[in-house]
Structure 1
Amino acid sequence: MVTWIKTSFWSRVARIILRNRILILILIAGVTFFLSTQWKYMRFSHTEANLLPYNHPVNIEYDKFLNIFGEEGNLIVLAVKDSSLFTVKNFNAWNRLSKQINAFPEVDIVISTQNLQKLVKNNKKEEFELSPLIEGEINNKSKIDSIKQELFLKLPFYESLLYNKETQTVRTAVYLDKDIVNTSVRKEFILNEFVDIIKNFEKETGLNVRVSGMPYIRTLNSQNIIDEISLFILMALGVTSLIFFFFFRSFRATFISMITVIIGVMWAFGFLGLLHYEITVLTAVIPPLIIVIGIPNCIFLINKYQQEVKLHGNQAKSLQRVISKVGNATLMTNVTTAAGFATFIVTESKILKEFGIVASINILAIFILSLLIIPIIYSYMPLPKTKHLKHLKKKWVGGFVNWMENSVKNHRVAVYVISLIALVTSIIGIYQIRISGSLIEDMPKGAEFFDDIRFFEKEFDGVMPLEIMVDTKRKNGVMKLSTLRRMDEVEELIKETPELSDPISVTNLVKYSKQAYYNGNPNYFQLPTNQENNFILSYAKKSSDNSNLLKSFVDTTGQIARITTFMKDIGTDEMEKVEEDLWEKINKVLPNDRYNVTITGKALVFMKGTKYLVKNLVMSLALAVTLISIFMAFMFRSFKMIIISLIPNILPLIITAGMMGFLGIPIKPSTILVFSIAFGISVDDTIHFLAKYRQELGANDWKISKSVYKALKETGVSMFYTSIVLFFGFSVFMISSFGGTKALGGLVSMTLLFAMLANLILLPSLLISLERNIANKDVMKEPNFNVLPEEIEKETEEEKE
């Protein structure tokens, strides 16, 4: 009775679709038009992906820092390492460049040789004053040599900020307006004005200007991502369409499939705009994900339609059976895949929630589009010609199916041995996987700005900001000499850490004040003694210029100070070791009962976010496995069948993780989705195979071997087509200049092959080997839900006879 009701339901669905074709096409066109109007609301994220929940302690600490000191990632640095910079023409041009940049409204301040200020003592007023290092144009080389000598030998306050004394590299620091750093204004300024002015300077002087800093890196990197998204969608569509045509040898089948997938991609962008979600490192993979899910739907529907046409030649009956039979199975595969991605919604991470919502919505949307568009368009077309059906009897495809059948029938022991070896080897590889929390690891290694990052790491020890915030718990507590000395001890450790640049803090300013008090003698660039402190502070309190400088390092109450350093591109393990060493020193020098200390900054937040993402991935995968297990239990009402069905789904994931370990591919936001995509696809194949297998059991008096081989022959071709199309489709991403995109494409491609072989060889082998344990009614009862309606199948068998 239940089976008849479900069969009747899908028969009614088929009639509704085929009787309302024009109305449905108008509705699809209307929805597509509406969603296309939402594209204008799409926007790329102008900040690094925040992988942590808003209420996470690391985010709370970072937000507290921003509220006190403002955006810390607003620094762009320019540098020249060339002795010809110190000619009259080039040095004046370098100074003019700083003035030109400083004139833009998007720029807050520029610190360079052009406007560099010296701190000097005014004995009459008993205060410190700022005096310019350079005044006006320079007319002779001797003046430049004098400036150079004074900068490198007498102004240690600016060392690491504006120059490298050993290599004589000169740097300019450009601080953008903090209000525009995380907006589209930053991108427009850098791409349309800043880059051009640098190129003009290089053309005028012949000097090679190195440019870096987080705003600059983020802008150029995001532009590369934008360029590649459209490129890879087009290439993925092109490659999959060629492979699709090679299999089906039908322009109409290829055309219909591509139209379906393209509309699905349009809907995906539309939903992103409708929900006002930013395109992030995760949501950017949704358009190609739609191709991943859409192409298998098309293959199964079109392949079934052609099988039905070949069987009886009745178009109306063929289309009705496509919807009735494959529609039900495809719904289940898409629902389970969507459920797997929907597990991200239960996490507390905003970026994960948004990805889970949009991915699950669009997976269901592409199912609906496939089920509606393919039968309706075919209903307006003539029946496929004989040449279009030849692929169903291709010798090499039949040879592949026979090879699988032979492996299952005669080489099951070898199948188990190979699977076991793969499992053990992969587990060894998993122990070699590292987690990467690097902000720049995925960036294109061949890009000019990536070379500049390495340049600044070598010359100035990094560009990624790391901040230490020291709360003295009392007003004006920062300027106490005891506090300054404690901070200086922490800074000495930072100087000794090769992964970190020399720190910048209020202690540098106090040291510079002492140097100025002693008439600029660089030997006195140090913290004052107790006796000196009173005299120097009396000068400093009268100096308005000095108080302005303090604002960058100390809050308005004088209670909280910051220590700024920059970090090299190091792995998560090294970063954690650096953090551990810092905390060990901080806990000794700045005890908790007297100071509240926070270590924060974009680099640290991103690392913590990556680890949080990995933790949530494990939870999401566990939840997805649970949901699939529940579905299998509902479908087969057999615990043993649940275990059997999960093995070919989990094994490809383990093999993929093992490959990542052996190949040195780290776990990071760009590669973490490999597991979700792989699991979703392998589950689809399992459901298709087991659905047909369950159906064959009823038709063959519960003879497992016979049912397995019949299911293998019917589903093997479609699953093989699907896997090959997706393998080449994802392989396109391997030409990407981004390491993460390249790894994602290669890993998913290989995982698809593992999943196909596991479902077509390992799964049938397990079913036959465990025949005695699962062949009775107590183990595998009448299911609660039939994925494929049996009545129609029986009718087909009768027609065959």
Structure 2
Amino acid sequence: MKNKRVVAYAEWIIRWRWLVIFLSLVSVAAMITGFSKMDFKSDYRIFFSKDNPQLLAFEDMQDTYSKSDNVLFVITPKNGDVFTPDTLETLQWLTEEAWQTPLSTRVDSITNFQYTYADGDELIVEDLVQQPSSLSKQDLQRIGDIAISEPLLVNRLIAEDKGTTAVNVTVEVPDDPQTAEEKQAVMVIANFARELAQKVEQRNPNLEVRLTGMVMMNVSFPEATIKDLSTLLPIMAFIVVPVFMWFMVRSTSGVITSVLLNLFSILGAWGLFFYLGGYLSGPAMSTPIVILTMGVADAVHILVTFLQQMRRGDSKQQAMVESLRLNMQPIFLTSITTIIGFLSMNASDVPPLHDFGNIVAIGVGLAFIYSVTFLPALLMVMPVKVRSKEPKAYHWMDNLGDWVIAKRKVLLPSFALLSVGVIAFIPNNELNDEFVKYFSKEVPFRADTDYTSEHLTGIYNVFVSVKTGKANGISEPEYLKAVDDFSQVAETWSEVRHVETITDIMKRLNKNMHADDPEWYRLPERKDLAAQYLLLYEMSLPQGLDLTNQINLDKSSVRVGLTLYNLSSNELLVLEDRIYDWFNNNAPQYELDVASSNMMFAHIGERNIKSSLSGTLIALVLISLILMFALRSFKLGMLSLIPNLLPAALAFGLWGMLVSNVGMGLSVVVGMTLGIVVDDTVHFLSKYLRARREKNLSPQDAVRYAFQTVGMALTVTTIVLVAGFYIMTLSTFTMNSEMGMMTAMTIAIALIVDFLLLPPLLIKLEEKQHEKATTDSELAESTAS
């Protein structure tokens, strides 16, 4: 933008300041109405695009068999024994009450487990526990022994030490909720479960009840982020930003206008996002903190220059005109590059990260608009007191500039060697997620899940659908043997805690039909016998406890369920390969599907890295072209790639050195921070070029000028940005906390790079050219004389 146009624009803003303030308020009010369309999705499926292959495989399996979404009530008697009359009676009561859970389709517990035995020639199928209050010690011992010897129960619904048990409630949550009632289904189910858990503890004080399962995980996403929003945002908005702003600019009016500007940007971004049909999710809920930190940057640059000019004797109007003249181009450029960086998140394979990037991009755009409209207009009508002397911190920049210039020949090779050493640790980073660890240990779901994993069973699972390709094919002896062989092998794997397989039922039925002779605890040898046993058993099962969770309708396939210990994404992928390898080597004639929600999360990390990389490359190209055009220098545009890319590389090198595990949230940090770290480079280069082109200063003096005019503003914005993103590390949602930590680290490194590496590079690049130009000028003057 040409200076004359900017000056004319600034004068117009000042002249019509009351109108600008009024229109700003009207625009915010209009955007806020978008909150009427606010919606929140609490389904883990939102993390996957509709064409995600693992999601499609999982949904196909859910359609073939009964749903697997659940609430797991984990019951621990304080006396350490499940098999007492009081505890069993309460379990029986809970089992019956759990059927009232909204959208429940099945309830499984040790009390309603369908125990089979032979009575003469008759097969008896009945609840394992009946009338618990009348059971003798011998009966209780017998029932307990049956439970811990039953493969379908032990390490799933009863612990081997008989100290912990569970009631599993399977629910059918709508895949694509339309009505408000359907959208609230998960929350309604979770609230019902919590109330029921309280009733159990009130009914029997000897029992401790914990809740886990997919429903509780779903509801924990919004609950954790709402908690973060209600605690972290106020800390950032009303403590961190105002304190740092006041400490650096020492202007109450400046702090107030900055806070209002950021509030407008946050409300406007969310309002517009809802207007466009967006919905809130875990990552999206953290955007106010990001917008707040990003919005401060524009305000700081305008305020610092504005106050500097007033200290030099300018009036408020003159100071604001000069501030906008000097800062309009750089803050416009930094806003555009930041927006591009966040929009690059749309290349991610995780839809909530699209929303995160889009909301922040809208917020950054609004922050720029309000920074050059509302901010100067409001400052013109507010009293602004300026100290006659600049804060001492400003003089630090002069000293730092002199030191960097003096030490430039040491800084350049030292920084290069240090960078190579740190970047060498990048290969240490390993993409590895554990979805339970998306939540900190203070989140009830995480704490209850960790307890369940330690004392009873896991909530990680993998479902294996083995297809015969023909109706009633599951009764074939060859097929049953293949499924049973796989199940027995899977039980030996260190990752597997429990295997649910139809072959355990078939072997038990075969034993029952041979007078409960243990010698006959094996698979039926003929297809017709297997089919008859299965039919007889199914006809004896009560409603709601059928076998549709293991067998499809035409009996052409069965689903084997593997319950796992807590595994990382890499370990899950290794397990998936092992399952396919086993069937390829031992039963290649059967078609196989392997799916689960855990498997979806395991694959998404790798897919997200690849997709995010393409977005980052596009953003890098666009930002580089914009800088070359804006700076009117191909050479400086190419040079800017070093301070723009190096911070993220160094941050990932440090992460590889100190942490090494890279989760889903970190996969988009490079693209996201690229737009942010460019800000420092643009502001430093713009002041450097102004000194070179307008003031005709040498490279060394131009560097000093850049430090004097923009050094403190860059320091303030970096401190606020680092503080803002560091606040995110306090989030109970790990994806947000890790993203905040890495982003804060990258931004801090970016300032160090721009202060210690960029100036030596600029001097090295332009020193000879300046010396040649000076010599030519002197020769021309000598010749002329």
Alignment correspondent of 2:531: 537
Alignment correspondent of 1:654: 649
Q: Secondary structure at the match of 1:422?
A: helix
Q: Secondary structure at the match of 1:208?
A: strand
Alignment correspondent of 1:631: 626
Alignment correspondent of 2:309: 308
Contact kept, 8 Å, 2:190 with 2:215, in 1: the verdict is no
Alignment correspondent of 1:799: none
Question: Which one-letter code corresponds to 1:344 in the other structure?
Answer: M
The one-character-per-residue Cα deviations of 1:47-82 (angstroms, maximum 9, x if unpaired) are 225544322333332232233225323342423265
Distance 2:259 2:361 in 1: 21
Matched, 1:378 2:379: yes
Change (3 A) 1:505 1:16: farther
Shift of 1:408: 2.0
Distance 1:67 1:84 in 2: 39
Change (3 A) 1:61 1:304: same
Matched, 1:484 2:485: no
1:86 to 61, 83, 86: 83
Change (3 A) 1:284 1:523: farther
Distance 1:623 1:515 in 2: 65
Contact kept, 8 Å, 1:43 with 1:278, in 2: the verdict is yes
Change (3 A) 1:149 1:230: closer
Alignment correspondent of 2:554: 557
| Percentage of pairs with the same residue | 20
Alignment correspondent of 2:781: none
For residues 377-776 of structure 1, the aligned pairs below 5 Å read 377-382=378-383, 384-387=384-387, 390=389, 393-399=390-396, 401-521=397-517, 524-530=520-526, 533-545=527-539, 549-591=546-588, 594-701=589-696, 703-772=698-767, 775=770
Shift of 1:609: 0.9
Question: Which one-letter code corresponds to 1:605 in the other structure?
Answer: M
Shift of 1:753: 2.0
Shift of 1:430: 1.1
Shift of 1:637: 4.4
Structure 1 unmatched ranges of 5 or more: 779-801
Contact kept, 8 Å, 1:74 with 1:178, in 2: the verdict is no
Alignment correspondent of 2:783: none
Distance 2:24 2:386 in 1: 31
Question: Which one-letter code corresponds to 2:197 in the other structure?
Answer: I
Question: Which one-letter code corresponds to 1:78 in the other structure?
Answer: V
Q: CA RMSD in A?
A: 2.8
Q: Secondary structure at the match of 1:43?
A: coil
2:110 to 104, 109, 113: 113
For residues 210-289 of structure 1, the aligned pairs below 5 Å read 210-237=210-237, 238-289=239-290
2:170 to 168, 172, 175: 175
Alignment correspondent of 1:793: none
Q: Secondary structure at the match of 1:279?
A: coil
Alignment correspondent of 2:778: none
The one-character-per-residue Cα deviations of 1:738-795 (angstroms, maximum 9, x if unpaired) are 44443333333332221112112211111112224665999xxxxxxxxxxxxxxxxx
Distance 2:515 2:685 in 1: 86
Contact kept, 8 Å, 1:474 with 1:559, in 2: the verdict is yes
Distance 2:641 2:314 in 1: 38
Question: Which one-letter code corresponds to 2:147 in the other structure?
Answer: F
Matched, 1:329 2:324: no
Change (3 A) 1:454 1:348: closer
1:38 to 34, 53, 59: 34
Shift of 1:29: 2.3
Matched, 1:55 2:56: no
Shift of 1:138: 1.7
Alignment correspondent of 1:368: 369
Change (3 A) 1:669 1:719: same
Contact kept, 8 Å, 1:487 with 1:507, in 2: the verdict is yes
Distance 1:281 1:221 in 2: 6
Aligned length: 763
Q: Secondary structure at the match of 2:24?
A: helix
Shift of 1:429: 2.1
The one-character-per-residue Cα deviations of 1:463-482 (angstroms, maximum 9, x if unpaired) are 02311122222222223221
Structure 1 stretch 158-167 or stretch 649-658: which is displaced more? 158-167
Change (3 A) 1:546 1:633: farther
Shift of 1:606: 0.9
Contact kept, 8 Å, 1:154 with 1:522, in 2: the verdict is no
Shift of 1:402: 3.0
Distance 1:514 1:330 in 2: 78
Distance 2:83 2:66 in 1: 35
Matched, 1:103 2:100: yes
Structure 1 stretch 227-236 or stretch 70-79: which is displaced more? 70-79
Alignment correspondent of 1:197: 196
Contact kept, 8 Å, 2:341 with 2:616, in 1: the verdict is yes
> Could you state the TM-score of these two structures normalised by the residue count of structure 2?
0.90
The one-character-per-residue Cα deviations of 1:415-469 (angstroms, maximum 9, x if unpaired) are 2244224312322321211112321122112444323322332344520231112
Distance 1:628 1:442 in 2: 32
The one-character-per-residue Cα deviations of 1:334-355 (angstroms, maximum 9, x if unpaired) are 0111012222335565344433
Question: Which one-letter code corresponds to 1:270 in the other structure?
Answer: G
Distance 1:108 1:51 in 2: 25
Contact kept, 8 Å, 1:341 with 1:356, in 2: the verdict is yes
Q: Secondary structure at the match of 1:277?
A: coil
The one-character-per-residue Cα deviations of 1:276-327 (angstroms, maximum 9, x if unpaired) are 3232343233211111210011101111211222234322232333333322
Contact kept, 8 Å, 1:404 with 1:761, in 2: the verdict is no
For residues 118-133 of structure 1, the aligned pairs below 5 Å read 118-120=115-117, 130-133=125-128
Distance 2:22 2:167 in 1: 59
Question: Which one-letter code corresponds to 1:169 in the other structure?
Answer: T
Alignment correspondent of 1:318: 319
Structure 1 stretch 691-700 or stretch 171-180: which is displaced more? 171-180
Contact kept, 8 Å, 1:286 with 1:359, in 2: the verdict is yes
Change (3 A) 1:144 1:446: farther
Change (3 A) 1:601 1:536: closer
Contact kept, 8 Å, 1:130 with 1:545, in 2: the verdict is no
Contact kept, 8 Å, 2:335 with 2:364, in 1: the verdict is yes
Question: Which one-letter code corresponds to 1:264 in the other structure?
Answer: S
Alignment correspondent of 2:300: 299
Distance 2:520 2:149 in 1: 10
Q: Secondary structure at the match of 1:163?
A: coil
Distance 2:317 2:148 in 1: 89
Structure 2 unmatched ranges of 5 or more: 774-785
Q: Secondary structure at the match of 2:498?
A: coil
Shift of 1:535: 3.0
Contact kept, 8 Å, 2:165 with 2:456, in 1: the verdict is no
Distance 2:257 2:483 in 1: 68
Alignment correspondent of 1:794: none
Question: Which one-letter code corresponds to 1:189 in the other structure?
Answer: V
Q: Secondary structure at the match of 2:102?
A: coil
Distance 1:523 1:18 in 2: 96
Contact kept, 8 Å, 1:437 with 1:668, in 2: the verdict is yes
Distance 1:476 1:615 in 2: 43
Distance 1:180 1:106 in 2: 13
